[in-house]
């Protein structure tokens, strides 16, 4: 049975267009902080590697080059607390969003199966479940899953640091999900794309834990998958440079299906990814840029009377009004200042009182937005 396209939600960003037009009427113009699109240059180390590998006449392998797979394994060992990751458990993907949307289908889920995702969440987790014919269920803990559905859960999505709310799951939180999922025969997939951007302790000093941390899964990768991307930490969103890593058995199964689908990452992008992963200096430099912008916007948001929640890591500020007014009212208020933000309703009903502001404006735009907020 095919999926019913009519059952999919309206593409959320289309609903923001009237507010974009309103914000564009502000005398000094629109400042768009609604989408987390990097605006800074892609680092030279990636660009040079891409250029050097541009003579790529042959088809690339779906599973990726040995060099890229080893670079990913080395990255997890050096920065994510995951030593001895088997390179055969690595699979490059054409951005992380396409894998989020396809994973339930690639795992063979369908009618009668349940996909769990965070209560406040990136909408593609929900959409991917629907595309497979499965049922999406929001839950922040196993106890929040309806009892009648628990035996039907086949996939649990985690997102840490969270988009949009910037919340970080500690090792004990991750372990709780892993133990529950293994008892129920479910796969756990963790979207960890913002892990390099921690702003509050203990995550700045200790790092954001990965689902693949040996302390989380009792030393086993069984049933565990991690997603990561260079879009944010390396300003490479246009490269669509991401990967899936974890349980080699699951990765091999998914890779086999993607071979049939022709899902191959271009060879020059694979070379750029490997080079970018070997150079942490540009990641640290970009983190400093986002940290500076965050301090400016955070101060302005608080000065304007808004209330911040979460936002301990990632590329966004997640905030509400003291009386928790509807998110669309806050979007309209800020559009009146020429600032466009994302309504929390895009991320589930639990986000109805919040808005999401991205840190991905230029220094000039961030300073201007802060000035407008202070003036208001």
Question: Model confidence over 227-265: pLDDT tens digits?
Answer: 999 999 999 999 999 999 999 999 999 999 999 999 999
| CATH classification (class only), 5-41+282-375 | alpha beta
Q: What is the pLDDT of residue 19?
A: 96
> Which tokens go with 270?
């694979």
Cis status, amide bond into 336, omega within 30 of 0:
no
3 or 131, which is more confident = 131
> Which tokens go with 244?
């899936």
Mean of the pLDDT values across residues 355-364?
Answer: 97
**pLDDT tier, 327 (very low <50, low <70, confident <90, very high otherwise):** very high
- Of 161, 205, 169, whose CA–CA distance to 315 is shortest? 161
280-287 long-range contacts, CB within 8 A, separation 24+:
280/78, 280/79, 282/43, 282/45, 282/234, 283/196, 283/233, 283/234, 286/40, 286/43, 286/233, 286/234, 286/235, 287/196, 287/197, 287/233
Residues 9-42: b if buried by 16+ CB within 10 A, e if exposed: eeeeeeebeebeebbeeeeeebbbbbebebeeeb
**Fold match flag (5-41+282-375 vs 55-279):** no
β-pairing, 241-246 with 224-229? antiparallel
% pLDDT > 90, the chain: 95
Query: Strand order of the sheet with strand 153-159?
Result: 90-94, 241-246, 224-229, 187-191, 153-159, 114-117, 135-138
Write the burial class of residue 332 (CB in 10 Å: 0-12 exposed, 13-18 middle, 19+ buried). middle
Residues 89 and 81: their CA atoms lie apart, in Å, by 16
To the nearest 10°, report the CA torsion of 57, 58, 62, 65.
-80
Q: What is the pLDDT of residue 1?
A: 47
Mean of the pLDDT values across residues 46-57?
Answer: 97
> Hey, where are the domains in the chain?
5-41+282-375, 55-279
Given a cut of 50, is residue 280 above it in pLDDT? yes
Mean of the pLDDT values across residues 151-172?
Answer: 97
CB atoms within 10 A of CB 120: 26
Given a cut of 50, is residue 42 above it in pLDDT? yes
- Of 318, 296, 298, whose CA–CA distance to 367 is shortest? 296
Name every residue whose Cβ is closer than 8 Å to that of residue 4 and which is 6 or more positions away in sequence.
none
Given a cut of 70, is residue 75 above it in pLDDT? yes
Stated as kind and residue range, the H or E segment containing 132 is helix 124-132
CATH architecture for segment(s) 55-279: 3-Layer(aba) Sandwich (3.40)
Q: What is the pLDDT of residue 12?
A: 75
- Contact of 135 with 115, CB cutoff 8 Å: yes
Given a cut of 80, is residue 2 above it in pLDDT? no
Residues 174 and 161: their CA atoms lie apart, in Å, by 12
DSSP one-letter code for 227: E
Q: What is the pLDDT of residue 4?
A: 60
Name every residue whose Cβ is closer than 8 Å to that of residue 65 and which is 6 or more positions away in sequence.
267, 270, 271, 274
């Amino acid at each position: 049975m095919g999926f019913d396209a009519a059952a999919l939600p309206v593409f959320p960003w289309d609903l923001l267009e009237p507010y974009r037009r309103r914000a564009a009427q502000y005398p000094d113009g629109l400042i768009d902080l609604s989408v987390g699109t990097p605006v800074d240059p892609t680092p030279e180390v990636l660009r040079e590697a891409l250029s050097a590998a541009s003579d790529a006449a042959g088809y690339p392998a779906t599973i990726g080059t040995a060099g890229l797979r080893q670079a990913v394994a080395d990255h997890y060992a050096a920065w994510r607390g995951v030593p001895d990751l088997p390179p055969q458990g690595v699979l490059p993907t054409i951005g992380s969003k396409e894998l989020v949307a396809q994973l339930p289908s690639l795992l063979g889920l369908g009618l009668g199966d349940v996909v769990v995702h965070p209560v406040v969440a990136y909408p593609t987790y929900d959409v991917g479940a629907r595309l497979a014919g499965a049922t999406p269920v929001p839950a922040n803990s196993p106890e929040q899953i309806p009892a009648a559905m628990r035996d039907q859960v086949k996939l649990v999505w985690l997102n840490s640091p969270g988009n949009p709310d910037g919340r970080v799951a500690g090792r004990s939180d991750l372990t709780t999900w892993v133990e529950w999922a293994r008892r129920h025969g479910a796969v756990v997939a963790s979207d960890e794309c913002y892990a390099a951007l921690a702003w509050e302790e203990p995550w700045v000093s200790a790092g954001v834990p990965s689902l693949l941390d040996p302390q989380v899964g009792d030393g086993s990768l069984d049933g565990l998958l991690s997603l990561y991307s260079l879009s944010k930490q390396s300003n490479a969103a246009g490269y669509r440079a991401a990967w899936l890593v974890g349980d080699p058995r699951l990765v091999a199964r998914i890779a086999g299906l993607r071979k049939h689908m022709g899902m191959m990452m271009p060879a020059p992008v694979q070379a750029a990814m490997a080079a970018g992963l070997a150079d942490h200096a540009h990641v640290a430099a970009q983190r400093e840029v986002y940290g500076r912008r965050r301090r400016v916007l955070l101060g302005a948001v608080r000065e304007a009377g808004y209330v911040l929640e979460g936002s301990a890591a990632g590329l966004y500020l997640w905030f509400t009004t003291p009386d928790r007014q509807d998110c669309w009212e806050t979007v309209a208020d800020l559009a009146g200042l020429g600032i466009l933000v994302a309504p929390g309703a895009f991320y589930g009903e639990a986000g109805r009182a919040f808005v999401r502001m991205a840190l991905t404006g230029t220094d000039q735009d961030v300073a201007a937005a802060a000035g407008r907020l202070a003036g208001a």
